[in-house]
Amino acid sequence: IPSTAEQFSDAFEYLVDQWKASGLDPNVPVYIATLNISEAFDGGEDFCNAALMCDAALQAGFKAILINLNTDITLADNGPHKGKFVFTPELDDEWFKLTSPETRELVESLVDTPIKVMFMLYPWEWILIHSEQGGPAPFAEPMMTMIDNGDLTVIEPLYSVLKTSKLMLPLLCELFPNSPYLLEATFGEMTVPLKMNGSVKKVAFGREGANIEIRLPDGSMVADTPGVYGQDGLYIMQEY
């Protein structure tokens, strides 16, 4: 690939192709939801990822709209769309003012209509865990009902939460004991390998190396990374 190329891979083109092969109706609007749409003004990571996904969907022929998960979606409690997510954008938001005339026209035409297809840049585990704790995800249960009834399609399937959870590691060790491809992992028990080789405490749903403690066999801590994860109290111990 020449050095003048815009990028050194076909990843984006493959992403567009995946949208085309999704089997979704291109006439049904796709809502690309992120919590950090305000990052549009400073190039934040979450916004850029969501914007890239939105661009891919657009190039695949879909009517894609980038929205704020906090402010542009309402769970209807009455009327013809009761129990469904409805698109309720803040049309005077700076973000919508910056969009193209075509996008603004599409947004205005979809106000108060049900959301049927959504790509959500928001971890499933946050929705499920926060819901159990009565936190900021009270829509988890009606969301599951919408998915079960076929009223809502979420691009990332719910089972993907299994792959993001470190709680899978002790289970894999139980299924494949003494595997050369697995480090000993437990739900908190200090087994012989952990005592002999040192241990690493990892929160179940941490990201990017946050909230990890590393201890040597003598118990001394050699690393303790800060972070905002682990408030649910879920963690594993893994061999160092």
- Residue range 197-215, pLDDT digits in tens: 899 999 998 888 899 999 9
Q: Given a cut of 60, is residue 176 above it in pLDDT?
A: yes
Q: Given a cut of 70, is residue 230 above it in pLDDT?
A: yes
Identify which has the larger pLDDT, 111 or 159.
Answer: 111
Residue 118: its pLDDT value, please? 94
> Is 186 in a helix, a strand, or coil?
strand
- CA angle 96/37/89 to nearest 5° reads 45
* Interval 119-149: pLDDT, tens: 988 888 877 776 555 554 567 788 888 999 9
Supply the DSSP symbol for 194: H
* Interval 51-95: pLDDT, tens: 899 999 999 999 999 888 888 899 998 999 999 999 998 877 776
Q: Given a cut of 80, is residue 190 above it in pLDDT?
A: yes
132/222 Cα distance (integer angstroms): 34
Going by C-alpha positions, the residue among 227, 172, 174, 171 that lies closest to residue 202 is 227
Q: Given a cut of 70, is residue 231 above it in pLDDT?
A: yes
Give 219's contacts (C-beta < 8 A, 6+ positions apart): none
Report residue 197 as tokens.
Answer: 């080789």
Give 54's contacts (C-beta < 8 A, 6+ positions apart): 32, 64, 65, 66
Burial class (CB in 10 A: 0-12, 13-18, 19+), 167: middle
CA distances from 144 to 85, 128, 152 (A): 12, 10, 9
The total of other beta-carbon atoms located within 10 Å of residue 180's CB is 5
Q: Given a cut of 90, is residue 49 above it in pLDDT?
A: no
